[in-house]
């Protein structure tokens, strides 16, 4: 039995969710919860960025056992794109099969306004980093076709329809951060096919696929990206707008988890 599973008190969740900036309130929806600070779990990085609690929660959502990671560590905090690898490995060892990733992101499309929710259909890695660099073995040559599971995407769209929530779809671009992108960079990303930009998620997706987990991901749009309608993003704006959209995200996720086969 894995060390993480021993902390679950007999519960065996198959689904885990990573909560992005200011989405930590979702953890409050977990019933009959066990709460474990990251600092008590071997290999779990303690987030140093506001808006990330750094707490592992196990309990029920939508009638199903689920593991909730309230907060993540980012590559820009240490320069290590594999900072979440011990976490993903621990989830796999504990029997997790499906990983739901969430994040806060800037919109590259002025029609996708702050407060919107976007389902990731694909991603572009503009960071120059990869969490598998330095690993050895053929299993690291991971196919990223359908990195975001088509069946899970279909289920997420069905959940949005059932809750009468507008769900955008698009390509997420990973920039390393922590500085925001320049207007010139944003112009380039729009040209190459990006729809939203952020500083997380992609390394976790790569790691999850490396360890055989199914992935689905959502962005809360917290701002228009730099230069669009004169926008100049800030971390305070990201936290503020993320908190405003948290209830809609919570409604969507609870329905998705409840209906998940």
Q: Is 38 a catalytic residue?
A: no
Q: Catalytic one among 104, 129, 243, 245?
A: 104
Q: Catalytic one among 116, 196, 223, 225?
A: 223
- What is the pTM (predicted TM-score) of this model? 0.94
End-to-end CA distance of the chain: 25
Q: What pLDDT does 215 receive?
A: 98
Q: Which residue has the tokens 């969490």?
A: 131
Q: Is 104 a catalytic residue?
A: yes
Q: pLDDT tens digits for 28-58?
A: 889 999 999 999 998 898 877 665 578 999 9
Q: Catalytic one among 27, 159, 199, 245?
A: 199
pLDDT-based confidence at residue 140 (cuts at 50, 70, 90): very high
251 against 229, higher pLDDT: 251
Q: Is 199 a catalytic residue?
A: yes
Q: What's the mean pLDDT in 222-235?
A: 83
Q: Is 74 a catalytic residue?
A: yes
Q: Please state whether the peptide bond connecting residue 178 to the residue before it is cis, i.e. omega within 30 degrees of 0.
A: yes
240 against 128, higher pLDDT: 128
Least confident stretch, 109-118, 136-145, 228-237: 228-237
Q: Catalytic one among 76, 148, 172, 175?
A: 76
Q: Which residues contact 113 (CB under 8 A, 6 or more apart)?
A: 107, 221, 224
**Whether residue 88 has pLDDT greater than 80:** yes
Q: pLDDT tens digits for 152-168?
A: 999 999 999 999 999 99
Q: Is 116 a catalytic residue?
A: no
Q: Catalytic one among 16, 21, 129, 172?
A: 21
Q: What pLDDT does 61 receive?
A: 94
Q: Catalytic one among 27, 53, 55, 74?
A: 74
Q: Of 138, 233, 218, whose CA–CA distance to 177 is shortest?
A: 233
Q: Is 168 a catalytic residue?
A: no
Domains and CATH numbers, the chain: 3-259 (3.40.50.1580)
Least confident stretch, 12-16, 23-27, 66-70: 23-27
Q: What's the mean pLDDT in 225-248?
A: 79
Q: Catalytic one among 2, 25, 77, 127?
A: 77
Q: Is 235 a catalytic residue?
A: yes
Q: Catalytic one among 52, 195, 231, 246?
A: 52
**Whether residue 246 has pLDDT greater than 90:** no
Structure tokens at 167: 């769900």
Structure tokens at 189: 């990303």
């Amino acid at each position: 039995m894995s060390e993480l599973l021993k902390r679950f008190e007999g519960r065996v969740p198959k689904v885990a969710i990573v909560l992005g900036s200011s989405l930590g309130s979702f953890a409050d929806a977990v019933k009959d919860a066990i709460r474990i600070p990251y600092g008590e779990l071997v290999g779990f990085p303690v987030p140093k960025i506001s808006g990330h609690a750094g707490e592992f929660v196990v309990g029920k959502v939508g009638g199903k056992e689920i593991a909730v990671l309230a907060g993540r560590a980012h590559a820009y905090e240490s320069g290590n794109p594999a900072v979440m690898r011990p976490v993903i490995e621990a989830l796999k060892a504990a029997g997790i099969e499906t990983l739901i990733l969430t994040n806060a992101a800037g919109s590259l499309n002025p029609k996708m306004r702050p407060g919107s929710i976007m389902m990731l259909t694909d991603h572009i890695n503009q960071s120059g980093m990869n969490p598998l660099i330095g690993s050895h073995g053929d299993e690291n040559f991971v196919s990223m076709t359908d990195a975001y599971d088509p069946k899970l995407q279909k289920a997420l769209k069905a959940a949005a329809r059932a809750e009468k929530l507008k769900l955008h779809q698009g390509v997420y671009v990973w920039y390393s951060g922590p500085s925001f992108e320049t207007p010139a960079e944003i112009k380039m990303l729009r040209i190459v096919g990006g729809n939203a930009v952020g500083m997380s998620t992609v390394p976790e997706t790569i790691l999850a696929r490396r360890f055989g987990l199914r992935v689905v991901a959502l962005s809360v749009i917290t701002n228009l990206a730099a230069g669009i309608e004169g926008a100049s993003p800030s971390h305070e704006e990201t936290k503020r707008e993320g908190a405003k959209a948290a209830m809609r995200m919570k409604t969507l996720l609870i329905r998705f988890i409840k209906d998940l086969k």
